[in-house]
Structure formats: C-alpha cells, structure tokens
Amino acid sequence: MRIALIFLLLVSYSSRGQVIMSLLLGDKLNSGKIEFGLDGGINYPSIRGLSGGDLRGTFNIGFYFDIKVKNPAWLVHTGVLVKSTLGESNLPVYALGDPNLDNSFAAGSVDTKINYFNVPIMMKYKFNKNIYAEAGIMPSLRAKAYDVFTASDGKGDLEYRLETGDKYHRLDFGLIGGVGYRLMGGNGMNLGVRYYLGLVDITIDDTTPNQYNSSLYLAVGIPIGVEKAKKKTEKQTTE
C-alpha cells in the first residue's frame, strides 16, 4: 500500500507538466512497440450508497500508452487522467452551522466533487483494426474535494464551496472496462465507452454507510506523433 501511495504521489506532482511536454514530444514517446496519445472526454460520476443525486457530465483529460505484447491482438493500455472529477450532483443541502448560510441555501442543492489522479491499467483486445474491448483495474489518488452549495435568491445565483478532503480516503481502487472503435482503419482516434466500479469505501467515517465511486466515461483517445514515428521507423528499417 505504501509503495502504491508513493507512486501515485509522484505521478500527481509530475503529470500536469508531462501532458504539456507530450504535446511537444509526442513522436519521441512513440516507438514500434508503444503508442502514446492524449486521453480525455466526459464522465458521468455517481457515488453508490449515497441517495438523492443526479448524473451530470464533467470533463477529464490525461494521456495514455498502448503497449504491444507478443500477440498482436493484445495491448496493455495505461496512462494517467490528471484531471478527473468523481462525486455526485444535485444532493439535498445539509446544515453548515451558520444561520445566514443555512437560510440562504435552504432551497438549493449540493454537488459533491472529488478530484482524482486516475491510473487505468487494462488489457485491450482488438477484434479487428477498428473494434476493441478493454478491462482491468484503476487505482486513484485523491487531490482536492469540496461540496458546492448553489441556490437562487431571486436576484441571482448563490454559490458556496466547502472543503471536504478530510472526509475521504486518499486512495481509491476499482475495476474498469469498456469497448471502443478506432477510426481511419485503425490509425485514427479512439472513441470508447468505459465504466468504473469502485471497490473501496471512500469515506473515512466508519459510522456512515459505505460509499463507492462509480462513473461512466465517454472517452476520446488522440494519438500524438504516431505517423511521424512510424515514418521514422520505416526509414530506419530500409537503411
């Protein structure tokens, strides 16, 4: 567990800069055995065990590696989603301990937002050049977490943010899987649907009901520098 925590901490501090560098050095990260690209899209998170919420989409972004193995139909898919928000939307309000705030948001709602650095590790199977399926695990490191109170007082919208990081464990872990389609005869963007099923109770307070992260991902994978790297490899083999 300590090794996993150290690894995720290192990833979280360095990954934002790596996304920027990857855009500049995408072809350097690609080789005959590894494909590199940007990974992102929209996810619809929810918290199992927490009732009364709605699904609302939120954006995520990161990078991926598709690593070839001996069998050409199989790949190891991994990477990092450096901006990924889980949680629940449109929950009932609760008391804040401040009469003015409680009165202002009495008729409003709460969005629980928990930011994570997600590290999916999956095996990807290609049925042909276009269609694939993937499944595996996804450990995550929590960053910031907060509840967003919103309401309308007739004059405009009100918002109040309450830091809630002390309510949730640093590490999350679960299963992830999905299907996808590769454009341009297997050389273009990856369009996929994934589902994450958290297996760890995310709350620290043992007196509350168990709560688990879940999320539906509409994912887009954009290879960076693949064509340039492929031409470079072909040139080296002919020389």
Say how many C-beta atoms besides its own lie within 10 A of residue 131's C-beta: 13
Confidence category of residue 6, pLDDT binned at 50, 70, 90: very low
Boundaries of domain holding 103: 2-238
Burial class (CB in 10 A: 0-12, 13-18, 19+), 183: exposed
Q: Positive or negative, the Cα torsion across 212, 136, 216, 64?
A: positive
Q: What is the CATH number of the domain that holds 12?
A: 2.40.160.20
More confident residue, 228 or 51: 51
Owner of token pair 């202002």: 104
Model pTM score:
0.83
pLDDT in tens, 113-169: 999 999 999 999 999 989 999 999 999 999 999 999 999 876 678 999 999 999 999
pLDDT in tens, 182-233: 998 767 889 999 999 999 999 999 888 899 999 999 999 988 866 555 555 5
* Structural domain total, the chain: 1
Long-range contacts from 159-162, C-beta under 8 angstroms, 24+ separation: 160/96, 160/101, 160/104, 160/105, 162/96
Question: Judging by DSSP bridges, how do beta strands 34-48 and 109-118 pair with one another?
Answer: unpaired
SS3 content of the chain, % helix, strand, coil (to 5): 20, 50, 25
| Most confident range, picked from 53-62, 93-102, 166-175 | 166-175
